[in-house]
Structure 1
Amino acid sequence: MIPLQLFTALFLPWLLGIAWLRLGWRQTARGTGPLVLGYAYLLGILFTTLVMRLWDAVGLKQAFWPLAGLLLCLTLLGFWMGRHLPWKEGGHTAPSITRSQSPWQKGLFALLIALLAIRFASLGLEILWRPLYPWDAWTTWAPRAQVWFALKELVAFVDSATWLHNPSNEIYTIPAWHYPKTVSLIQLWISLALERWDDSLISLPWLLCAGALGLAFYGQLRYWRLTPLASLLGAYLLLSLPLLNTHIALAGYGDLWLATTYSLAGMAFLQWLRTGDSRQGWLALLLVLACPLLKREGLIWILTFLPPLLIVHLSFRAMLFTGAGGLAGMVAWYMAGGIRIGELEITPDLIQIPSLGRFELALSPVWEPFYQNLFVMGSWNLLWYLVIGVLALSAIRILTHRQLFVDFTFIGSGLIVVFVTFFLTSNAAWAEYYTSINRILLHLAPILLFYILVLLQQNYAGNGPRPYSGLPAKRGEPQ
């Protein structure tokens, strides 16, 4: 019975996502299948955690079969609603892989599939054989889930001072009590299915999360008109990153979930900006809103979506006025000594944002740790050499072609977030002691690699976008 419940817990959310996503993706366009499969798992498991929150809010105890029954009903409803919707051929239907590829391409394609299958099998065994290991897993995410599993309700966690002054059996404390609940709820969902606590099996969703990332990555590259082999090679480059593999094998951190959610949101967002496809826009919006539910850093990553939106929707003159207004606002803010509204405080000396933290502002040139982590140590293979090389060779085209420029404002905003975090705040210590530098970069790495692959395809495959005119084109017109 336990294997059935575990299988249900792992794949019912995925099936739920497929049932509803397929309603909007009835076209057999290139990349549709892997794209839907990848996004379906992430949306399905995130929706499952929201159902668990609602279940607790109405006063019901956490129980697997009642929750699974509700998800199953929603899944069947999704399939029932789509039962009569005809499949249509899209504007760029994918040719058969076996017909469109030469023999050596077919062989390389099969080899990459085999290598990925072997790698995922080994990562799955790593998860099954290893007890809960990562620091944050057994100090934050898992202890909270374990308490919820024992009590079958989402009891509150508070800071230690509040806990000491309120000796109640209804509240608990951990050092990172303020972290979002979603990662712990994913672990709780598996524990409810097992009817026991298992340090290894609660981490299996990390393997599925990585699989969803790879599927969606491949599907979005195909949707951008990369060839099947180029798209699979890109997915292989992503899924072979040592740091990403570490976060799968040593499952328990929340960074893989945030990296997947943010990157899948970013890929859908760039597709929406390029084509005006409302389905991509909705995917981006749903996942953007989910980022803060996974880690507090998700609030900051949301800001990276604003610059490209402004560029797309403002005329060149409006952008100049907006830039001038922003510069004037910055000068006024500095002259006034910053702003203070309740607990929100942004001054030249510090940034304090509720639910995010307090950060002292100071210039910290931590170039050496960045150089060591990105270019010398083995966490990233040759990713950052590829990034620097492609961006340098494509600099002129990025500045002169509209779509590439708009996309770069999104990627550049993410790089600015990384720079401000480590070079301008007290978080420089995270870089100096090598504690969080790579974990933050992991959030950005998949969408950055996606952009680099798009740059290579659009610049060197004879399929480049039109020159940037200084005026934003309407979404959906040829780029």
Structure 2
Amino acid sequence: MIPLQLFTALFLPWLLGIAWLRLGWRQVARGTGPLVLGYAYLLGILVTTLVMRLWDAVGLKQAFWPLAGLLLCLTLLGFWQGRHLPWKEGGTLGRSIPHFQNPWQKGLFALLIAFLTLRFVNLGLEILWRPLYPWDAWTTWAPRAQVWFTLKELVTFVDSATWLHNPSNEIYTIPAWHYPKTISLIQLWISLALEGWDDSLINLPWLFCAGALGLAFYGQLRYWNLTPLTSLLGTYLLLSLPLLNTHIALAGYADLWLATTYSLAGMAFLQWLRTGDSQQGGLALLLALACPLIKREGLIWILTFLPPLLIAHLSFRTMLLTGAGGLASMVAWYMAGGIRIGELEITPDVIQIPSLGRFELALSPVWEPFYQNLFVMGNWHLLWYLIIGVLALSALRIISHRQLLVGFSFIGSGLIVVFVTFFLTSNAAWAEYYTSINRILLHLVPILWFYILVLLQQSYAGNGLRPSSSLPAKKS
């Protein structure tokens, strides 16, 4: 019975996502099949955690089969709503099957699929054989999930001082008590299916998350008109990154989930700005809003969607006026000593944002840790050498074509977030001791690599942009 419940827990959220997400693609484009499959798992598991929150809010105990029954009803309703949509030959999946003119391309494509399959099998075995290992996993995410599993309700966690002064059987404490609930709920969902606590099996969704990232990444590249072989090669290079593989094998951290959610939101966002596709825009909005539900840093990553949105929809004159206004506002802010509104404090000396934290501002030139982690150690293979080389060679093309500039402003905003985090705040210690430098970069790498592949295709693969193909700007 337990294997059936585990199988249900792993695949029912995926089916839920497929049932509803495919409704948006009535007009099928290349890459839609893998795209839907990838986004469906992530959205399905996020909806599952929201259902668990709602279940607790109405006063019901956490129980697997009642929750699964509700999810199944939602899934069947989604499939019934889409009962007349094309799904077989010529439909979403049918159009996604690649066709090759040369036998060697077909052979290389199959070889890459085999390599990826073997890699995922190895990663799955790593998860099954290894006990709960990462620091945050056994100090924050898993202990909270274990308490919830034992009590079958989402009891409140508070800081240690509150817990000591208010002894109660209804509140608990852990060091990172204020972290979002989503990751712990994912582990709780698997535990409810197992009817027991298993330090290894609770982490199987991390393997599925990586699979969803790969499927969606490939699908979005195909949707951008990259060839099947190029798209799969790019996906293989992403999924073979050592740091990404570490976060799959040493499952339990939240960073893989945030990297997947943020990057899938970013890819859909860039597709929406390029084509005006409302389905892509909806995916971008949903996943961008989901980022803070995974980690507090998600609040900051949401801000990176603003610059490309402005560049895509404002004229050059309006952008200049907006930039001048922003610069004037910053000067006024500095001269006034910053702003303080309740618990919100943004001054030249400190940034304090409710639910995010307090950060002392000071310049910290931590170039050496970045150099070691990005260019010397084996965390990223040769990824950053390639990224810098491509961006340098394509600088003029990026500046002269609005579509490429929009994408660059998005990943550039992410790089600015990384710079401010490590070079201008007290978080520089995280870089000096190598504790979080690569974890933060992981959030950005999939969407950054996606942009690099698109840039290479549009610049050097015979599909270069003409100035007339730039995104239209609205008149001021």
The answer to whether TM tops 0.5 is yes
Gaps (5+ residues) in structure 1? 475-479
Secondary structure at the aligned position of 2:364 is classed as coil
Listed one character per residue, the Cα deviations across residues 369-401 of structure 1 (whole Å, up to 9, x for unaligned) are: 000000000010111011001001100000001
The answer on 1:408 being equivalent to 2:394 is: no
For residues 92 and 163 of structure 1, the distance between their equivalents in structure 2, rounded to whole angstroms, comes to: 53
Secondary structure at the aligned position of 1:348 is classed as coil
Kindly provide the amino acid, as one letter, of the partner of residue 372 in structure 2: Q
Per-residue deviation, 1:465: 2.1
Correspondence for 1:68: 68
Per-residue deviation, 1:147: 0.2
> Cα 1:471–1:23, aligned 2, differ >3 Å: closer, same or farther?
closer
Listed one character per residue, the Cα deviations across residues 218-237 of structure 1 (whole Å, up to 9, x for unaligned) are: 00000000000000000000
CA contact (8 A) 1:402 1:465 kept: no
For residues 88 and 249 of structure 2, the distance between their equivalents in structure 1, rounded to whole angstroms, comes to: 40
Correspondence for 1:331: 331
Q: How does 1:38-437 map to 2 (within 5 A)?
A: 38-86=38-86, 99-437=99-437
Kindly provide the amino acid, as one letter, of the partner of residue 60 in structure 2: L
Per-residue deviation, 1:86: 4.3
The answer on 1:7 being equivalent to 2:14 is: no
CA contact (8 A) 1:27 1:88 kept: no
CA contact (8 A) 1:340 1:346 kept: yes
Per-residue deviation, 1:103: 1.2
For residues 90 and 312 of structure 1, the distance between their equivalents in structure 2, rounded to whole angstroms, comes to: 34
Listed one character per residue, the Cα deviations across residues 445-467 of structure 1 (whole Å, up to 9, x for unaligned) are: 00000000000000011212232
CA contact (8 A) 1:27 1:89 kept: no
Secondary structure at the aligned position of 1:175 is classed as coil
For residues 182 and 144 of structure 1, the distance between their equivalents in structure 2, rounded to whole angstroms, comes to: 11
Listed one character per residue, the Cα deviations across residues 56-89 of structure 1 (whole Å, up to 9, x for unaligned) are: 0000000000000000000000000111234699
> Cα 1:91–1:3, aligned 2, differ >3 Å: closer, same or farther?
closer
> Cα 1:96–1:20, aligned 2, differ >3 Å: closer, same or farther?
closer
For residues 243 and 4 of structure 2, the distance between their equivalents in structure 1, rounded to whole angstroms, comes to: 32
The TM-score with structure 1 as length reference comes to: 0.96
Secondary structure at the aligned position of 1:100 is classed as coil
Per-residue deviation, 1:319: 1.2
Listed one character per residue, the Cα deviations across residues 68-124 of structure 1 (whole Å, up to 9, x for unaligned) are: 000000000000011123469999999786643311111111110000000000000
Listed one character per residue, the Cα deviations across residues 145-176 of structure 1 (whole Å, up to 9, x for unaligned) are: 00000000000000001000100000000000
Kindly provide the amino acid, as one letter, of the partner of residue 107 in structure 1: G
For residues 8 and 367 of structure 1, the distance between their equivalents in structure 2, rounded to whole angstroms, comes to: 48
Per-residue deviation, 1:29: 1.5
Correspondence for 1:456: 456
Listed one character per residue, the Cα deviations across residues 286-321 of structure 1 (whole Å, up to 9, x for unaligned) are: 000000000000000000000011112222222111
For residues 272 and 393 of structure 1, the distance between their equivalents in structure 2, rounded to whole angstroms, comes to: 26
Kindly provide the amino acid, as one letter, of the partner of residue 418 in structure 1: V
Secondary structure at the aligned position of 1:351 is classed as strand
> Cα 1:172–1:470, aligned 2, differ >3 Å: closer, same or farther?
same
Listed one character per residue, the Cα deviations across residues 398-457 of structure 1 (whole Å, up to 9, x for unaligned) are: 000110011110010000000000000010000000000000000000000000000000
Kindly provide the amino acid, as one letter, of the partner of residue 215 in structure 2: L
For residues 93 and 164 of structure 1, the distance between their equivalents in structure 2, rounded to whole angstroms, comes to: 56
Listed one character per residue, the Cα deviations across residues 247-268 of structure 1 (whole Å, up to 9, x for unaligned) are: 0000000000000000000000
CA contact (8 A) 1:338 1:347 kept: yes
> Cα 1:416–1:121, aligned 2, differ >3 Å: closer, same or farther?
same
CA contact (8 A) 1:30 1:94 kept: no
CA contact (8 A) 1:262 1:287 kept: yes
Secondary structure at the aligned position of 2:467 is classed as coil
For residues 385 and 14 of structure 1, the distance between their equivalents in structure 2, rounded to whole angstroms, comes to: 36
CA contact (8 A) 1:31 1:94 kept: no
Say which is worse superposed, 20-29 or 69-78, in terms of deviation. Answer: 20-29
For residues 399 and 388 of structure 2, the distance between their equivalents in structure 1, rounded to whole angstroms, comes to: 16
Per-residue deviation, 1:28: 3.1
For residues 449 and 469 of structure 1, the distance between their equivalents in structure 2, rounded to whole angstroms, comes to: 23
Kindly provide the amino acid, as one letter, of the partner of residue 398 in structure 2: I
> Cα 1:382–1:349, aligned 2, differ >3 Å: closer, same or farther?
same
For residues 275 and 28 of structure 2, the distance between their equivalents in structure 1, rounded to whole angstroms, comes to: 17
Per-residue deviation, 1:469: 9.6
Secondary structure at the aligned position of 1:172 is classed as strand
CA-atom RMSD in angstroms = 1.8
Kindly provide the amino acid, as one letter, of the partner of residue 152 in structure 1: K
For residues 457 and 99 of structure 2, the distance between their equivalents in structure 1, rounded to whole angstroms, comes to: 21
Listed one character per residue, the Cα deviations across residues 313-341 of structure 1 (whole Å, up to 9, x for unaligned) are: 22222211111111110000000000000
For residues 59 and 351 of structure 1, the distance between their equivalents in structure 2, rounded to whole angstroms, comes to: 38
Kindly provide the amino acid, as one letter, of the partner of residue 323 in structure 1: G
Aligned length: 474
For residues 44 and 247 of structure 2, the distance between their equivalents in structure 1, rounded to whole angstroms, comes to: 21
Kindly provide the amino acid, as one letter, of the partner of residue 84 in structure 2: H
For residues 274 and 402 of structure 1, the distance between their equivalents in structure 2, rounded to whole angstroms, comes to: 10
> Cα 1:424–1:472, aligned 2, differ >3 Å: closer, same or farther?
farther
For residues 294 and 96 of structure 2, the distance between their equivalents in structure 1, rounded to whole angstroms, comes to: 38
For residues 459 and 41 of structure 1, the distance between their equivalents in structure 2, rounded to whole angstroms, comes to: 33
CA contact (8 A) 1:271 1:280 kept: yes
> Cα 1:95–1:282, aligned 2, differ >3 Å: closer, same or farther?
closer
CA contact (8 A) 2:39 2:216 kept: yes
Say which is worse superposed, 104-113 or 308-317, in terms of deviation. Answer: 308-317
CA contact (8 A) 1:402 1:466 kept: no
Gaps (5+ residues) in structure 2? none
Secondary structure at the aligned position of 2:359 is classed as strand
